[in-house]
Each structure stands twice: as structure tokens, then as C-alpha cells.
């Protein structure tokens, strides 16, 4: 594919080649000669997503540029929507290229294993077919949340503390935060007991419990944690106890229970506060976390793991140490990017301290107006503009809510300003279509715990 230099260049990254510009250029070039192509991804509960596009026909001199174009779309869709089976409705050579890449020994063997064995508990596969043979979309989503009536418990499981609230008719009458160490504990009983203790504490503050809702980092499918950093200490042979833990808790408490990814709950809380839908929430913390509420107010059951979704196609883009892929979101929208850009900005990071302390060290320089730190956040604002423009090709968005440690202080405003500068220069239509938000008092009016408590429907 031909890579396009951005009109607004990150001050510390001249090699940045935005995915959105490469894809748009590809579509302009192929439009007059192209043939229809359809990419489909099938995930749990018979949910199916489709993405329609145009590619070069067989025999065209630029035919092989289809390989990178389609592979990057497949990659994005898998981490946005999730899927154990990918359908490639395109010229056969394109489908065979994807099948080879997403195999147990292929370039995307990480994705093959992660999506197949770990998330959906079946072998990942690629179906090569024609565009007309890709199944129809089945995107039901769930109308989770906004259910405020009754006595509810809302909880949020973090890496360092667990939060719980007792919520009566939408008002939190009791909340607590308790320090815990989920990552260090190898016994599933520890996690079960800690969560049950939190729920029982909240229950004691209300006359009854009608429903329980929760949020947690990780990938959840039908209330089952499939992959979650909180439970990384659990040996594989004991992980079934974790996968079925919330189903057990639901049965023992005898009330409706819903647990979903914390990014989706953040987006839901934003939707409830802004009183509008079509919200993509992006948290710039130790990694990139995301959540989405669609235009109808539904949580779609998608993965929204944008940390692994590519936004930079430069061959010199940084490599993710876990997946082995280049240019993925976590390396641009998190403290990881701050640390990568610090040497280029002339900043020597302190050693022997936590990542949170290293980030604060750079943020203090930003607050003091130091040039190097300013260039870091200017660069990240440019990434955000091109990244959101790329996300808008896959999500229907009216609002983007950015939050997380990297948005503290001056940094948040700089990110918004940088993104708007990119919109004005490259995507003027997005200035009218998408509003960018930082959390303010209105956004905080509906907290994470209340939004989580509102997830279940009481029959």
C-alpha cells in the first residue's frame, strides 16, 4: 500500500503514517476499477459483523496491495468486534493470504491463538469465499444499563482496589474502596471471597438486593471472564473456576447479574451523563482501554480492545511486545507512548520508581511548560486526531470521551486541541460530526458504580 504523510506531523515522530490516510488513498485509487469485497467476523452467540469495501481485481498491476489493505482491516475488526471465524469475501488470492497469516504458524499467530483458544474456546479459522457468500450481519447488542429502579449493587474491579456501591433508585447510598491484590493471588477462592465480601457489605446497607452489575478490565463473554489481567496469577488448570465465578455468584445471590468490560461501563456512564448515544470512550492509562455505546444506546458485546488495533502503518512503527504487531493503539494512547517519546524529547526518565511515578515526573515538566514534555503531548494530540478519524471508519460516533492518567492537568486539553487541529486540516467534516470531551462534573454525575449497578434488567 502507498503510505501517506500526514499534513500535521507529530513533532517527535516524522515517520508516522496514519492508517486512515493510507486506507482513504487506497479507496480513491481503486474506486474506478475495483471489485466488491466483504469481510465478516463471527463471534459467540451467533453474532456476526460485516465490513464492505472495494479492492483491486485479479490481474491488476496493483493487485498485491490488496493483501496489506485487507489484512489490516481483518486485524482491526477482530479486536474491535471479536471473532473466532473470519470470512474473506474477496478474490481468492487475498483470502488465501489472510488464511496463511492468521494460522497457528502465521504472522498473526498471536491473534490466531488469542481469539480462538483463549477468548472463544475454539480453533480460529478463515473462510475464503466470494463477497456474496459472506453471511448477513447479526448485530443484536444488549440494551444494558439505564435501569435505575430498585435496590442494586454496582461494583468495579481494578488492579489495586475493588469498589462497590449500594444503589437505591439510582442514588448511591453507600460506597467503599478496598485495596486488594488480585494479580498476585493464584487461588481462585481468594477472588471469589473478596468479591462476595464486597457484595455482602453493600447488601447490608439496603433492605433487599434486586440486581447486581459490575465492571472489570478484561474480555467478558456472557458474564464469563475469558482473558483478564486481574486473574493473570491463576494457573490455566484452575481458570475454569474464574470463568464460571460470576455465574456461581449470580446463582447464589438469586438475582439478575451482568458483568462487562470496564470500558463499556465508562462509555455507558458517559452516555447517561451527556444524555446522548454514539459514544466511544478511550482511556489513556497504562495501556489503551475503550468502550462503546451505539446510536440506539446499546452495548454491542464487542471486544473494543483497541490497544491491539493498528492506527499507524509505518514500517518503522513501534512493535507491541505481546502481540508482535506494529503500530497498535496501546503504543500511541497510553503512558507507554510517553515513555517512548521521552528520550526524543530530551527527557531522562527516573529509574527504580513505578510507572505511575515516571508518568508523573514527565507530567510535572509539562505543567512547568518545559518544551520537551510539551512536544510529547502535542505529538499524542496528533495521534489522537488521526486515530479517532480511523475509528470513525468502523464506529458510528457522535461523542468521544477521553480519560485516564495521560489526560491529567494540561495534557487533556492539549490532546483535545491537537485532535481538533488534525480534524480541521484533514477531516473538516468530523469537526461537525464528533464532539471530543474530557470528563467534567456533568460527566461524573453518573459514576462508574451507578452505571454498573444499572446494567441488569429486573424481570
Quick one: three-class SS letters along 399-442? EEEEECHHHCCHHHHHHHHHHHHHHHHHCHHHHHHCEEECCCHH
- Decide if pLDDT at 316 tops 80: yes
- Decide if pLDDT at 457 tops 60: yes
DSSP 116: I
| Residue 71 and residue 95 in contact, taking contact as beta carbons nearer than 8 Å | no
| Residue 84 and residue 42 in contact, taking contact as beta carbons nearer than 8 Å | yes
Chain segment 137-190, per-residue pLDDT in tens: 998 877 788 999 999 999 999 877 889 999 999 999 999 989 898 988 999 999
Chain segment 77-116, per-residue pLDDT in tens: 999 999 999 999 999 999 999 999 999 999 999 999 999 9
Chain segment 363-401, per-residue pLDDT in tens: 999 999 999 999 999 999 999 999 999 999 999 999 999
Q: Where are the beta strands (DSSP E) in 74-233?
A: 85-89, 125-129, 151-157, 161-168, 171-179, 211-216, 219-221, 224-227
DSSP 458: P
Q: What percent of the chain has pLDDT over 90?
A: 82
Long-range contacts, stretch 177-182, CB < 8 angstroms, 24+ apart: 182/157, 182/230, 182/231, 182/233
Residue 254 Ramachandran class (φ > 0 left, ψ -120 to 50 alpha, else beta): left
Cβ count within 10 A of residue 320 = 20
CATH hierarchy code of domain 141-459 = 3.30.420.40
Q: What percent of the chain has pLDDT over 70?
A: 99
| Residue 318 and residue 25 in contact, taking contact as beta carbons nearer than 8 Å | no
Please, is 334 exposed, middle or buried when counting C-beta atoms within 10 Å of its C-beta (0-12, 13-18, 19+)?
buried
pTM of the model: 0.91
- The pLDDT score that the predictor gives to residue 130 is 98
Average pLDDT of the chain? 94
Strand order in the sheet with 257-261: 171-179, 161-168, 151-157, 211-216, 257-261
Q: Please report which confidence band the pLDDT of residue 445 belongs to, taking 50, 70 and 90 as the band edges.
A: very low
Which sequence spans correspond to the domains of the chain?
33-133, 141-459
Chain segment 411-443, per-residue pLDDT in tens: 999 999 999 999 999 999 999 999 999 987 555
Amino acid at each position: 500500500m502507498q503510505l501517506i504523510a500526514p499534513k500535521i506531523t507529530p513533532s517527535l515522530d516524522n515517520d508516522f503514517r496514519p492508517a486512515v490516510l493510507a486506507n482513504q488513498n487506497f479507496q480513491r485509487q481503486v474506486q474506478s476499477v475495483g471489485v466488491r469485497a466483504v469481510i465478516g467476523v463471527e463471534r459467540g452467540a451467533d453474532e456476526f459483523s460485516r465490513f464492505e469495501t472495494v479492492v483491486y481485481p485479479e490481474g491488476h498491476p496493483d493487485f498485491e496491495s490488496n493483501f496489506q489493505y485487507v489484512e489490516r482491516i481483518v486485524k482491526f475488526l477482530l479486536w474491535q468486534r471479536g471473532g473466532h471465524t473470519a470470512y474473506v469475501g474477496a478474490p481468492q488470492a487475498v483470502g488465501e493470504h489472510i488464511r496463511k497469516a492468521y494460522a497457528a504458524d502465521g504472522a498473526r499467530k498471536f491473534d490466531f491463538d488469542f481469539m480462538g483458544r483463549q477468548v472463544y474456546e475454539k480453533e480460529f479459522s478463515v473462510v475464503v469465499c466470494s463477497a456474496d457468500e459472506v453471511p448477513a450481519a447479526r448485530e443484536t447488542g444488549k440494551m444494558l444499563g439505564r435501569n435505575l429502579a430498585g435496590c442494586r449493587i454496582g461494583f468495579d474491579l481494578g488492579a489495586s482496589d475493588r469498589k462497590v456501591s449500594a444503589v437505591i433508585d439510582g442514588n448511591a447510598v453507600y460506597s467503599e474502596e478496598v485495596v486488594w491484590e488480585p494479580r498476585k493471588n493464584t487461588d481462585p477462592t481468594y477472588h471469589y471471597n473478596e468479591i462476595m465480601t464486597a457484595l455482602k457489605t453493600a447488601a447490608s446497607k439496603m433492605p433487599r438486593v434486586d440486581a447486581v452489575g459490575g465492571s472489570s478490565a478484561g474480555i467478558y463473554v456472557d458474564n464469563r471472564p475469558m482473558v483478564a489481567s486481574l486473574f493473570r496469577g491463576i494457573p490455566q488448570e484452575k481458570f475454569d473456576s474464574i470463568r464460571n465465578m460470576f455465574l456461581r455468584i449470580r446463582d447464589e445471590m438469586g438475582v439478575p447479574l451482568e458483568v462487562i468490560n470496564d470500558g463499556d461501563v465508562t462509555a455507558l456512564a458517559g452516555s447517561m451523563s451527556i444524555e446522548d448515544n454514539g459514544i466511544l470512550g478511550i482511556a489513556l492509562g497504562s495501556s489503551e482501554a475503550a468502550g462503546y455505546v451505539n446510536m440506539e444506546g446499546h452495548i454491542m458485546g464487542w471486544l473494543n480492545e483497541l490497544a491491539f488495533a493498528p492506527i499507524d502503518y509505518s514500517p518503522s512503527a513501534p512493535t507491541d511486545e505481546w502481540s508482535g504487531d506494529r503500530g497498535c493503539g496501546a503504543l500511541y494512547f497510553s503512558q507507554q507512548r510517553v515513555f517512548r517519546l521521552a528520550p526524543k524529547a530530551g527527557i531522562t526518565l527516573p529509574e527504580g520508581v513505578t510507572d505511575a511515578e515516571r508518568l508523573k515526573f514527565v507530567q510535572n515538566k509539562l505543567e512547568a511548560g518545559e518544551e520537551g514534555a510539551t512536544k510529547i503531548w502535542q505529538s499524542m494530540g496528533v495521534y489522537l486526531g488521526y486515530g479517532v478519524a480511523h475509528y470513525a471508519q468502523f464506529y458510528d460516533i457522535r461523542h468521544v470521551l477521553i480519560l485516564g492518567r495521560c489526560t491529567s492537568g494540561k495534557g487533556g486539553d492539549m490532546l483535545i486541541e491537537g485532535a481538533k487541529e488534525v480534524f480541521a486540516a484533514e477531516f473538516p467534516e468530523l469537526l461537525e460530526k464528533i464532539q471530543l470531551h474530557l470528563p467534567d462534573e456533568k460527566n461524573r454525575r453518573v459514576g462508574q458504580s451507578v452505571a454498573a449497578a444499572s446494567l441488569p434488567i429486573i424481570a
